[in-house]
Structure 1
Amino acid sequence: MALDGIVNVNSLFTDAVFIGLSLASDSSDQSSTLKSKSSCSTDIEVARTLLVYKVFSFSSFLFYSLIAHGLKLAINLLNSREVEEALKAKINVNILKFGMMGSAIGSVMGCLFLMLAMVNVVEMKLGLLSCGGKTAYSVATLIILVPIGLSGYISIAVYAFMH
């Protein structure tokens, strides 16, 4: 079930990042921004960094989702060998734990890169972080809430890894 959760969440994030990449617009389009001062405008480097973070996030989610899906497939194939004892397949627990922990680490990396990409999106829409105001409040909220959620996820993953 843990592998199902990892695969489902990573697939959802992979789809979201892929759609975000495909719908990415040119940063020179000033009609899509909410900035009031031109001194708070972002340059092309923020857009490039945004794209890099999105690609890193997409790669992390996709790669580790494939690892989790491969583990799930291996478990299903091992279970299908012994029809009368479908729930008692012999699985190398160390490989399973290693794969699950790797998938969890990949999910965390993907979330961190997605958070960094969102910081760049906020800067592109509201203005540079150094200008303060709503940009700083939005980024602060993002930087507070995402790590809190990730710490809960990490602690549950470590607990599952240890037991």
Structure 2
Amino acid sequence: MAQSETDPKLYRAKSTSVHVTALDGLVNVNSLFTVAVFMGLSLTTPGQHSLENNGVCDAGLNVAKRLFSNEVVSFSFFLFSSLVAQGLKLAINLLNSKEVDEAFKAHIHLNFLRLGMMASAVGSVMGCIFLVLSMVNAIQIRLGVLSCSKYAVGAVAGMVTLVSSGLLVYISTVLYMLSNGKRI
């Protein structure tokens, strides 16, 4: 006898596959951002002269220290977000697996799933914020401090505008999904 579309087990498997896909996407994006973190660390060195060719416009050691600190915090948030997402994926996959004995199946509560997805999303958003802060410092090291270089100001303004717009869309989508999304 074929399962109908209204069968709760079939519905649960379909809806949780959407969650797994969303968590996969989150982990993939976090991985790309983590690469950006390490590129920022490798391309910027303290004591480097800016492209402004004016010693007054060169960023000081404190800017390089903030860059490094923000990169480490950003990496930590991305790693946190990815680990939470991977844990949720594991639980969902165990829940839906037909090959696992009933004793080893994960029983994930909807509120726990939502809390985990929210924690993962918050980790990604915070990682993005600290990545942007570190990029502001990298821009100041390469193009000159903001008070000296119109190119640095333009780069920072463009980056902050685009990233904050993207984060606004992402946060709105996550909040909508968690508050009004379909039930498992």
Q: TM-score range by the shorter chain?
A: 0.7 to 0.9
**DSSP 3-state at the match of 1:121:** helix
Between the aligned partners of 1:125 and 1:14, the Cα distance in structure 2 is 21
In the other structure, the counterpart of 1:15 is 35
2:52–2:149 Cα contact (<8 Å) kept: no
Query: Does the 8 A contact of 2:143 with 2:149 survive in 1?
Result: no
Within 2, Cα distance between the matches of 1:138 and 1:74?
42
Instruction: Name which of 88, 102, 105 aligns with 2:119.
Output: 102
- Answering whether residue 67 of structure 2 is matched by residue 50 of structure 1, we say yes
TM-superposed deviation, 1:80? 1.4
* Distance apart, 1:64 and its partner CA: 1.1
Deviation per CA, 1:18-46: give whole Å up to 9, x if none: 3443x25532233xx31222111111000
| Secondary structure of 2:97 counterpart | helix
TM-score (norm: length of structure 2): 0.78
Letter matched to residue 7 of structure 1: V
Q: Which runs of 5+ in 1 are unaligned?
A: 84-88
**2:16 equivalent in structure 1:** none
1:4-153 to 2 correspondence within 5 Å?
A: 4-21=24-41, 23-30=42-49, 33-81=50-98, 91-153=108-170
Normalising by structure 1, we get a TM-score of 0.88
Counterpart of 2:177 (choices 153, 160, 163) is 160
Percent identity over the alignment is 52
Between structures 1 and 2, the one with greater helix share: 1
The aligned amino acid for 2:31 is S
Q: Which amino acid aligns with 1:34?
A: L
How far does residue 79 in structure 1 lie from its aligned partner after superposition? 1.4
Q: Which runs of 5+ in 2 are unaligned?
A: 1-20, 101-105
